[in-house]
Amino acid sequence: MRTVLPRRFVPITATVLAVGAAVLAPQVTGKTTSQPTATQTSAQSSPTAGKHDDFVIVGHRGASGYRPEHTLASYELAARMGADYIEPDLVTTKDHVLVTRHEPEIGGTTDVAVHPEFAARKKTKVLDGTPLTGWFTEDFTLKELKTLRAKERIPAVRQHNTVFDGRYQIPTLQEVIDLTKRLSRELDRPIGIYPETKHPTYFQQQGLALEPELVKTLNRNGLNRPEAKVFVQSFEVANLKTLDKQLRVPLVQLTSSAGAPYDFVASGDKRTYADIVSANGLRDVARYADGVGPSKDQVIPVDATGKLGTPTALVRDAHRAGLVVHPYTFRVENSFLPVNFRSSTVAAESGNLFGEIAAYRQAGIDGLFSDNTDIVVAAEAESR
């Protein structure tokens, strides 16, 4: 049984929440009992870093509102826009190298379909209990994957991103880390990584577990330490419990507004994500993790008309359990916004993301994932 790690509680003022009264919210400082020293604080401060406060801004798959997701170009743009962390989703190759894709199936995010030499690789697999046909990263070596080029995943909504189709390779996790090191020096502020282990049970069943390679990579880069600017996240539970024994960086339990962790499903555990975000469930999460990453509608659901409704107890209960709350995903297009923040009925047009962010910050969240880092940074500046 894990002892809940100490966390530093700091007053978050109206500058942070854009509301009148100050509140107390947990802030993860890593798996350590020591407080940050003045030297450590100064070392992490810079004129550029000071543009926003302790609120955590995560570039979701990079700056995926402006570049094809999970490319070095997307990650770099998010950092330059002001993201504190960039988020690489991790899958593996046949030769067990961690690469960044939203899913192991890459037909929708690369040009693999136009490579005749890989036509025979197309197959149907069962991914988390659901049959899926396409091309899968674990059937390719890294050398083979490097011959492919990324493309926009949702061209009907983000047609402007398609101009970059065919320009970028699939990056490895090591390449992402190397990028953050370079940008941290160039921008004079630390750029963190917030990797997600994708479909852990699926890869474990194929003898290609993600977790050992992730731990090795963090160790090799000096990132398995409390002061490292790293979060590790997963929609499953068992792998986070295993990582809790191996990593000294904060862990985040992801949840969804429907369904259950697939490791629960596979083992016959009847608990769902709804159980995990209950008050009792969040106390259990705090035994092995430091934060929770809910779907944003678990924080504030939409009502029957599609408008943003009333906040749930999730933020309050998570804070009481000592967990930070980083919901996903905040996107500017109308198709991803509540009805009362849309600008029109055209799905691809931009709506009022500023308004949605303000509502969630008022609900007390500690950070968020966004495809549009620039808007989140601008919203933060305006809230001061």
User: In terms of CATH, what superfamily is 9-28+50-88+172-382?
Assistant: Phosphatidylinositol (PI) phosphodiesterase (3.20.20.190)
Q: Which amino acid does the sequence have at 126?
A: V
Contact 372, 358 (CB under 8 A): no
- pLDDT score at 49: 39
Q: What is the mean pLDDT of the chain?
A: 89
Q: pLDDT by residue (tens digit) across 28-59?
A: 655 543 333 333 333 333 333 344 468 999 99
**Least confidently predicted of 75-79, 185-189, 379-383:** 379-383
d(CA 26, CA 246): 23
Q: pLDDT by residue (tens digit) across 217-270?
A: 999 999 999 999 999 999 999 999 999 999 999 999 999 999 999 999 999 999
DSSP E strands in 84-238: the ranges are 85-86, 89-92, 98-100, 123-127, 130-134, 192-193, 196-197, 232-234
- Tell me the pLDDT band of 318, cut-offs 50, 70 and 90: very high
d(CA 63, CA 75): 6
User: Taking the model in full, what pTM does it have?
Assistant: 0.88
Alpha helices by DSSP H, listed for the chain, are: 14-17, 38-43, 72-81, 142-145, 173-187, 200-205, 211-220, 238-244, 262-267, 273-276, 279-285, 296-299, 314-320, 353-362, 373-382
Beta bridge partners of 8: 27
- Per DSSP, 330 falls in state B
Q: pLDDT by residue (tens digit) across 111-162?
A: 999 999 999 999 999 999 999 999 999 999 999 999 999 999 999 999 999 9
Q: Which amino acid does the sequence have at 47?
A: P
